[in-house]
């Protein structure tokens, strides 16, 4: 009788080696899947921010500011997306970030511009990853299989809806309306579709804690795109205007170390220019002018800013708004500012 023990051992050994190859292949597949699914968070590259990190600094809270923020917070609690509309430099962005932070949920920031399209909102394929699996089940034969997996990276909107974050979409209307088609299904159906993504995970169910705040300038501003009515109808519109004089004094004082009298003069001048000039003179202009006046220190003998210094500083601050316009030049602006001051 022939002893076939050695043959059986050889077969058994081959099976063990094949099993190990398969096991290593499965491990490699799992590792690749984990790597691809977390691609957007590698090396700290994630759009998620802790709420305490996004609170504007400094942030002034007066009765007027709290009243507006409470309105925003109330609509968010009612699960309604909020659209803050108002002139440039009136504090929309700071208000949106403060309201988002108050929810104590992660915050995702997105800034709108001409380059923002659906892919920039949702995500895209970012190359591929490849590995080889070797099968040596048959002695002397190496069967090699190449496996390629496309790597998908989620962009801010996908991350926000999946994680239940508060999306703050600044300058929303500076992005083309076509980019925002994906928002319709988010607000209406509670689902985000990711064009370009294949398979069962093409869509994301919206996390129940997801909320959105968008900001935009009034429609007459340059670079503003008209958005589709079907989308705008799903927003709550909160108009943000320039604050009262007391709040503006608080805002300027929070940014610049000047006396109360100096701050009052700056705010009074800003509000006068706002009323009489045809260009936008926001609270931001008052803060910038205050920073300049703190450096130039153009006080007269009575401890007040002299008119020449005020006129020069405010002309410098507002000059970019008229430079290059037909018929509008800085000399005309300087004359108008001097007359108002």
Q: Pull the structure tokens for residue 171.
A: 């300058």
Provide the b/e sequence for 238-268 (b: ≥16 CB within 10 Å): bebebbeeebbbbbbbebbebeeebbbbbbe
Q: Residue 327 has what pLDDT?
A: 46
Instruction: Calculate the CA 101 to chain-centre distance.
Output: 13
Q: Residue 328 has what pLDDT?
A: 55
Scanning the chain, the segments in alpha helix (DSSP H) are 5-37, 51-54, 63-77, 92-102, 118-122, 156-163, 181-189, 229-232, 245-255, 260-276, 283-296, 307-318, 330-340
The dihedral sign for the CA sequence 150, 151, 156, 159: positive
Q: Residue 174 has what pLDDT?
A: 86
What are the respective helix, strand and coil percentages of the chain, to the nearest 5? 50, 15, 30
Instruction: Calculate the CA 70 to chain-centre distance.
Output: 21
Q: Residue 15 has what pLDDT?
A: 42
Q: Residue 227 has what pLDDT?
A: 81
What is d(CA 85, CA 241) in angstroms, rounded to the nearest whole number?
8
Give yes or no for a cis peptide into 212 (omega within 30° of 0): no
Going residue by residue through the chain, which has 341 residues, state the pLDDT in tens, using 9 for 90 and above. 445 544 444 444 444 444 555 555 555 444 433 433 343 443 345 788 888 888 888 888 889 999 999 999 999 999 999 999 998 888 899 999 999 999 999 999 999 888 888 888 888 766 555 555 556 665 666 666 655 566 767 889 999 999 999 999 999 888 888 889 889 999 988 988 887 777 667 888 999 999 999 999 876 555 566 788 888 899 999 999 999 999 999 999 999 999 999 999 999 999 999 999 988 899 999 999 999 999 887 765 556 788 899 999 999 999 988 876 554 588 888 899 899 98
Strand order from edge to edge, sheet including 211-216? 48-49, 107-111, 166-170, 211-216, 82-85, 236-239
Give helix 307-318 / helix 260-276 axis angle, nearest 10°.
Answer: 60
**Helices then strands (H, E): number in the chain?**
13, 10
Candidates 156, 68, 148, 93; CA nearest to 120 is 156
Q: Residue 7 has what pLDDT?
A: 45
Q: Residue 17 has what pLDDT?
A: 45
Q: Where does 48-123+154-239 sit in CATH, by number?
A: 3.40.50.300
What is d(CA 83, CA 86) in angstroms, rounded to the nearest whole number?
10
């Amino acid at each position: 009788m022939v002893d076939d023990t050695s043959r059986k051992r050889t077969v058994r050994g081959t099976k063990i080696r094949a099993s190990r190859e398969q096991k290593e292949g499965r491990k490699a597949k799992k590792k690749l899947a984990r790597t691809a699914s977390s691609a957007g968070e590698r090396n700290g590259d994630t759009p998620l921010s802790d709420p305490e990190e996004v609170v504007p600094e400094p942030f002034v809270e007066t009765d007027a500011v709290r009243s507006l923020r409470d309105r925003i917070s109330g609509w968010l609690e009612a699960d309604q997306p909020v659209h803050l509309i108002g002139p440039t430099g009136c504090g929309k962005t700071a208000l949106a970030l403060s309201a988002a932070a108050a929810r104590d949920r992660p915050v995702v920031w997105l800034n709108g511009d001409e380059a923002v399209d659906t892919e920039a909102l949702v995500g895209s394929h970012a190359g591929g990853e490849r590995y080889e699996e070797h099968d040596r089940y048959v002695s002397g034969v190496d069967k090699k299989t190449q496996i390629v997996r496309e790597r998908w990276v989620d962009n801010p909107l996908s991350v926000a809806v999946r994680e239940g974050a508060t999306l703050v979409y600044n300058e929303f209307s500076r992005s083309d309306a076509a980019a925002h088609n994906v928002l319709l299904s988010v607000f209406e159906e509670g689902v985000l579709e990711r064009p370009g993504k294949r398979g069962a995970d093409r869509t994301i169910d919206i996390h129940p804690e997801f909320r959105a705040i968008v900001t935009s300038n009034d429609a007459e501003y340059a670079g503003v795109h008209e958005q589709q009515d079907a989308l705008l109808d799903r927003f709550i519109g909160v108009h943000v205007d320039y604050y009262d004089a007391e709040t503006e004094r608080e805002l300027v004082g929070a940014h610049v170390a000047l006396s109360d009298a100096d701050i009052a003069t700056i705010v009074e001048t800003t509000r006068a220019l706002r009323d009489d000039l045809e260009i936008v003179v926001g609270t931001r202009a008052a803060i910038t002018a205050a920073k300049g006046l703190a450096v130039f220190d153009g006080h007269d003998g009575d401890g007040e800013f002299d008119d020449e210094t005020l006129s020069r500083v405010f002309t410098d601050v507002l000059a970019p708004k008229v430079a290059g316009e037909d018929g509008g030049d800085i000399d005309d602006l300087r004359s108008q500012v001097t007359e108002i001051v």
